[in-house]
Structure formats: C-alpha cells, structure tokens
Amino acid sequence: MKKELEKTYNPADIEDRLYSKWINKKYFKAEVDRSKKPFTIVMPPPNITGQLHMGHALDNTMQDILTRFKRMQGFNALWQPGTDHASIATEVKIIEQLKKEGIDKKDLGRDGFLERAWQWKEEYGGRIISQLKKMGSSCDWDRERFTMDEGCSEAVEEVFLRLYEKGLIYKGSRIINWCPVCKTSISDAEVEHEEQAGHFWHILYPIAGTEDFLEVATTRPETMLGDVAVAVHPDDERYKALIGKNVILPFLNKEIPIIADTYVDKEFGTGVVKITPAHDPNDFEVGKRHGLEQINIMNDDATINEKGGKFAGMDRYAARKLMVKELEEMGLLKKVEDHTHNVGIHDRCNTTVEPLIKQQWFVKMDELIKPAVEAVKSGEIAFVPERFDKIYFNWTDNIRDWCISRQLWWGHRIPAYYCKECGEVIVAREMPDVCPKCGHTHFRQDEDTLDTWFSSALWPFSTLGWPKKTEDLDYFYPTNVLVTGYDIIFFWVIRMVFSGYEYTGKAPFQKVLIHGLVRDSLGRKMSKSLGNGIDPLEIIDKYGADALRLTLITGNAPGNDMRFYLERVEASRNFANKVWNASRFIMMNLEKAESEGKEEIHLTQADKWILSKCNTLVKEVTENMENFELGIAVQKIYDFIWEEFCDWYIEMVKPRLYSDTDETKSAAIHTLKQVLITSLKLLHPYMPFITEEIYCTLKEAEGKDGEDVSIMIADWPVFDEKLGFTQEEEAVELIKAAVKGIRTVRTGMNVPPSKKASVIIVTESGRIAEIFENSKAFFATLAFASEVKIQKDTDGIPSDAVTALIPEAVIYMPFAELVDIEKEIERLTQERERLKGELNRVTGMLSNEKFVSKAPEAKILEEKEKLAKYTQLMEQVEERLKTLK
C-alpha cells in the first residue's frame, strides 16, 4: 500500500521521528573528504547553565539554515557544536544548590566543590543541547565539545604558557570590575548597565592656604576617601591660576594637588573633577599620566577599609549617607542635584559592580590586537552588515589590557606556582620540583581561574584539535562564517580574531553574520525582571519547530532587532498547513497519472509560466542566501508557494486534472510534481521537518524506500536557462491581471463566486486573442465565467455591460447576468431609506445650536465625518438605482 500524507498536518507526529532518523543515518556527520569543499560553522557555545531562549533559537536557526543550504549544495558541511563551562554562572548555580542543602562552599573545600561542579555539569550540562535538537539543529553531535574537556583545556594551558613566555601575560594592579557579593573580578560581558535615579553631590574642597573652595560634583561621595588630586582643564581660564596648588581633602584633612589634564570637560558640571585612580578607570589613566598614588579604600565586600579613617568597616552606602550628612553639617555640601545615570550591575547576582584596583593577571593587548584590526580593514574578515565594522574598530581603538583572572574555583586554574619560601613565580604545565631561585621544594598553585572568554576565544580551532596538528584542523579551518548577536562583538568575536592570528596565523572565519535581539511585541528586551520572556519549547509544543523557525527568520534582516508576536507564529503554522494540504492534493492526483513518463509531455502556457517563475525563484533565493539575506530569501519562497503555486497554478490546472479527456493532464501532473519538489528543497533549510516528511512520502509513493531517502542530502536546485519562458510568463501575467480585474468588479457589486456570467474579451491584438484562446479552460474557472468569448469589436455586447481594463483589451460582463435586477433594486431601496434616516439624524444634530455650542469639538467633528460619509453613500446608491432602472 502506498504511503500517504495524513489528512491533517501535526508536527508532533513527525518531528521527533524524523530527527531520530537523521541522527541514526548520520546525515549530520562531517568527515575529512578532500574530494569535497568544506563549509564550517562553529556554534557559539551556550552555557551549561543555559535554558533555551529566543536568542538561542534565532542564532541556531540561522546557523542551521546555512548548514543545510551548503550541505545540499554539495559542500562537506560541518556545524561544530559544544557548550561553555561558564565559570561564574555555573558557580553561582552550584552555590545556590549548596545553600538549599545547608552547605557552605568553603566547607567543601576546592576539591570537594569541583567534584560537585562536575556532577552538576553531568546532570544539567546537556539540557540545552537536547533543546537545540528540538529546534532541528543539524550539528555533528558526535563532535560535541566542552570548554573544559581534555583537549580544550590543553589548548588553554598552551596559550597561557606561550603568552607568558612572550611577555604578553603579566600580574599587576589595574582597575577591574569587582562584584562584592561573588567576590571576584568579572568581565564587561557580565556587567549590565541600567539607568538608575541618583544624585550629583556638589562638594566644596578648601583650597590650602586660602579661604576659597573648589566645587567638585560626584555621584559617588564615598570614593573621595581615595582621592589623590583634583583636575581641571589646562585651558580653563577659571582655574589656570590654581594649577599646582593644593586642596584639603575633607575628613582625612590631607593636602592633594590641583592638576591640569585634557581629560576634564570644561563644559560638564563645575569643570573640576576629583581623581580617584583606584576606583575609576578614567581616573586610573589620569593617575598614570601624572604619577599619582593609587589608594584603594574598599574591602572585597564593599565595606570601607582601614584607609577610610572613621568610616572604616562601614558598608559603602552607609558610609555615603553619613559622609553626606557630615559634609552638610561642615558647610561643605553646596547642593544636591537629581541625576539619572547608568550603573553597572552584575548580571548573575544583581549587585552594583564596584570599579576597584586589584592585583590580577592581565594580557597585554597593544600588539595582539594589530592583526585583528588589519584583518577587517583589508576585508579578509567581513561583517554582515558592514556597519558593525564601526563598533569593532571603536573597541579595538580603545583597547585596554585584558583582565583574565577570576576568583573562582570552577574553570581553568591558572598554571602559575609560587615558591612558599621566596615567593618566586613559576608558570609551567605542572608544579615544579625545585625553585630555580632558592632551591626549596614547596609550592602552592595560584588560586585563581581564567576568564571564561579566555577559553572561548580559542573555540574555532581548539574544537578541531589545536594545539595538535590534526587533519580536521587542516581541512575544516579556517571556518567560513560565524553567526552571533551584536551584543558580544567585543567580548567574543574580537578575542577569537586576535587569537586565531596569534596561534594559527590565520583568520578564524571569513564572515561574521550579525543578528539582532528578539524583542517582545512591544519592542522590549526579553528579561526575567520584566517577565516577558517566551519559552521556545512551549512554542514548539503548540505550533511545531518549523513554525517557530519560519517566524524567527521571516522579516529578519542582518543586524536588526525583531519583534516576536504569537500572531506571526500562527501565520507560520498556517503556511505549513497550506504547504501540507497542497502537497496532499498533488500526491492524490499523482496516483491518477498512470501514463506519466510513457508519453511525450506537452507543456501548456500555464505550465511554462510556473516553471519559469520557479526557475527565477531558484536563482534569486540562491543569491540571497549566498549574501546572507535569509529573511528576503524565505519571503520569496513563501510568496511563491502561497500565491503563485497554490493560489494560481493549482487552481489553473484543476480543470485539466478533473478531465478524463484532456491531453495535457500528464503535463500538468509532471509540472506540479517538479515545482513541488523544487519548492520543498528551497524551503527545507528553513522548515526541515515538514519538507522532509512530504519529500520522503512523495519518493515512497514512487516506490523508493523512505528510510534511504532524505531531502537534506538531496541536490540544491540549480537555475536552468532552458526553463526561462519569457513569453509564457507575460501571457499568464496578463491572464492574472484580467482575473484580478474581474474579481474586483464583482466584489464591488457584491456578486457571489457562485454566480456565473459571460466574459467577453474585446481586443484587436491577435497576440492577446491567442493568449486568451489558449487559456480558456482555466481562465473561465478563475474568472467565474459561464462562457468566454473573444472578439475584435463590441458587436452584440449589452449597453449596460460592466468593464475591466487590461493592456490592449477591454473585458465586458453583461450586467443582467451578474445581478438579479429586481432583488438588487429592492435591496438598494431599503439601503436608501436607512441612509435617509441617518442623514436626517446627523443633519438635525448639526443644525441644533444647543448641541453645537455645548458638545466637545471631537464629537462635533465625528458627526461631520458621518454626514460626509452618509452623503457619499447616498450618492452612490442613487446612481446605482438610476442605472438599474
């Protein structure tokens, strides 16, 4: 018995089954094959703490589209998957879990904690991978990597040693982002900036040896305890005479200098800036230029330390409150202004981040960044869209040394060892036996771990076996394209670029395809705090993965944010139903085509039209996809399938399919099948499940074993010049214009589709006449015609016939055949009486002086608009009645 499509499309019935088939058949697998050209994408590794969200769904849908497209084109396509250990995010999760059990992290000790961390990873680390599989992601899962697996860890250690040996890694004191709750340095990527209502406190610093003051405005009064200078602009005439003098720092009563620096903005605030090098990155740079002391006045928990005088031991905000109060009492608080400013928040614990000077491990960036800058300038690496070059260069032009150490236990531990006797630092793969400086044999390893970005920066090549010279690395690297969001260009993309050049001598990828954020229907960023997140898995359960994927890509333009509406998902689901029902209809008719292939196929005008349109579609979609215009490509596929193929061509061929005598029936079936298969192939990268089910069912109906057939390994359609039927395209487009014109007239006259009428085409053009003569069968159906006549003049056409115009022809329809005149007169007479009543009511209101003088302006305007509308409708009804009578 031949397999048929189910009557109703239900994604839940097919998706898991088809995905299992793809996995079992190893269709996603990519092995080195020198006879094929490779195409490689590395998946941005999701955190093992991760739960699939819309950003993941969009990012991975785009990667899957490109991978499936290239695989069908004949490339040896590798989509390399993996997950990130996400040091701080994972550690926070595990600490939360331990707290529920009444266990403190310190009680477990480092080894005990790491044991629990690995258990956690085994239990939860694969969750997001299984969720990505629900999306239809065609990664080579046999190659799945983890940033802390043996190979990736070896790569991390190798990089640290190489950079250290080159003098590019050092330990020193610089300003870093510090989380007082997690008690670790954190990267810029983990700092979220949110607008908060705050204040500008205007504080008076006494000028030493005078009775005058300098007015300084600050948003963080507590940091004044670490002030080492106040700065003015060298060209500011107000303060030129004071440069080189001192002010007295309140509370600590010590003198600090007044310095000149172009960093100060003369126009902002008072034009005087307090300089606190240990608590502000800009002040740190000013302090370096002027050789100023760095005084850190905070403990790791953001309490004031012993350098804060009487405020020592107080929380930073309690100290601020007391300081402001005492400054006011001393007469040194001139004024307080409300001020809204961006505050850095740690995204894991929602604590306000403190910029602090701390001793950490850093990577020198001045030299490392140069090849990364040149790569984008030369075009060796290109951003899509190109405008993201500016963001990239803005970051590279303002590069600072990279803080790579974290005060965490989960992660790659820094391979640095300290002699317990003399403190000598030795960087090595293993703990040394003997100190080269003092000869002692007792060492301790550095407690810190490396920034997560340190390992993910190596991702494009560490996943392929680097630092070993593997065949995979030689064949699949450099990768072709990186797909990522614009929010991590600095944190990840740039680090991969300079790492690629430094360790492999090559760019890690050729293109960087940037996508925007998925926002809610109001345009807001999806977040836990707003509670506006939408779970992709819930969408899949209700509508299917294909509908979700189509929604995420439709209207999507590189680099632009998109809004997510459930109505759009429903529209995508409706499209899936349309494709399913059309395919089912075609396959039911294929069974009747016993003679197909046994006789010569004679294509009609309509067949050539749809084949030509489909051929053009192949060319345009391929070009769009090569240019990463995925949203434009899928819109063209969508419009072609829904409108040209389903709404027009299938309706055109129905009379031929239902006729037992039509000699072109085989051509119709041949064309239906060819266009369906091509359409499914073009749609497959976007909607892999439904296209696979239809394609395999179609092939099985032909007698092929469905288990050995898959659309995902079928050949991508190729443009064929022989299928360019320009004349037939023009002819059918003319027919379509005629049908649309007729339908517009009928709709305007409220004529139901069931009401047939004669259609007379009047044209002096032999070419136009021939087009309609050749298309009579389907034209009559589409135009709701009882008969179609083609003539050169208007002889015999009733004078009351209504018309529709097309180029070089006029279409006539006898009025009496369209409308039951007596019934229409009766209906219009009733409508006239109703309009008379409305006009009398509105006219009466507007002529009533009491109403006009007391009613709101908006109400009067509303009634005037009604008067104009009813007047126009009455004129139309009167004109129509006059014509009918």
DSSP 55-113: HHHHHHHHHHHHHHHHHHTT-EEEEE-EEB--HHHHHHHHHHHHHHTT--HHHHHHHHH
Checking DSSP bridges between strand 518-519 and strand 82-83, what pairing results, if any?
A: unpaired
- Run of H or E residues at 15: helix 11-24
| Contact assessment for residue 405 and residue 185, using Cβ atoms and an 8 Å cutoff | yes
**Chain Cα centroid distance, residue 506:** 27
Q: What are phi and psi of 573, to 5 degrees?
A: -65, -40
186: region left, alpha or beta (phi > 0 left; psi from -120 to 50 alpha): beta
Instruction: Compute, in degrees rounded to 10, the torsion defined by CA atoms 575, 581, 583, 587.
Output: 180
SS (H, E, C) 335-382: EEEEEEEEEEEECCCCCECEEEEEEEEEECCCCCHHHHHHHHHHCCCE
Q: 406: closest CA among 445, 350, 362?
A: 362
What Rg, from alpha-carbon coordinates, does the chain have? 37
- A 10 A CB-CB count for 542 gives 15
Q: Which amino acid does the sequence have at 38?
A: P
Residue found under tokens 């395999």: 696
- Run of H or E residues at 333: strand 333-346
Residue found under tokens 């430094």: 502
Residues forming a β-bridge with 413: 449
Residue found under tokens 């009379």: 655
Alpha helices in 208-275, H assignment, sequence order:
none
Alpha helices in 554-664, H assignment, sequence order:
566-590, 605-626, 630-639, 651-657
Residue found under tokens 């409706």: 574
| Contact assessment for residue 152 and residue 145, using Cβ atoms and an 8 Å cutoff | yes
First to last CA, the chain: 63
DSSP category for residue 526 = P
**Secondary structure of residue 143 in the 3-state scheme:** helix
| Contact assessment for residue 573 and residue 544, using Cβ atoms and an 8 Å cutoff | yes
Flag whether 722 is marked binding.
no
Spatial separation of the C-alpha atoms in residues 66 and 72, rounded to whole Å? 10
Token pair for residue 552?
Answer: 């995420």
Give the neighbor-by-neighbor strand order of the sheet with 509-515.
382-384, 509-515, 479-485
Could you give the C-alpha distances from 133 to 23, 80, 140, 439, in angstroms and in order? 10, 14, 11, 56
Q: Which amino acid does the sequence have at 161?
A: L
Q: Which long-range contacts (CB under 8 A, 24 or more apart) does 657-661 make?
A: 657/589, 657/592
Token pair for residue 271?
Answer: 């034009």
Could you give the C-alpha distances from 183 to 67, 75, 808, in angstroms and in order? 42, 48, 81
Q: Which amino acid does the sequence have at 640?
A: F
Token pair for residue 190?
Answer: 């983990």
| 265: Cα within 13 Å, side-chain hemisphere | 5
Angle at 624 between CA 623 and CA 630, to 5 degrees: 150
Q: 550: closest CA among 529, 526, 571?
A: 571
**Secondary structure of residue 855 in the 3-state scheme:** coil
Spatial separation of the C-alpha atoms in residues 694 and 753, rounded to whole Å? 32
Q: Which residues are annotated as a binding site?
A: 528
Extract the annotated binding site for ATP. Answer: 528
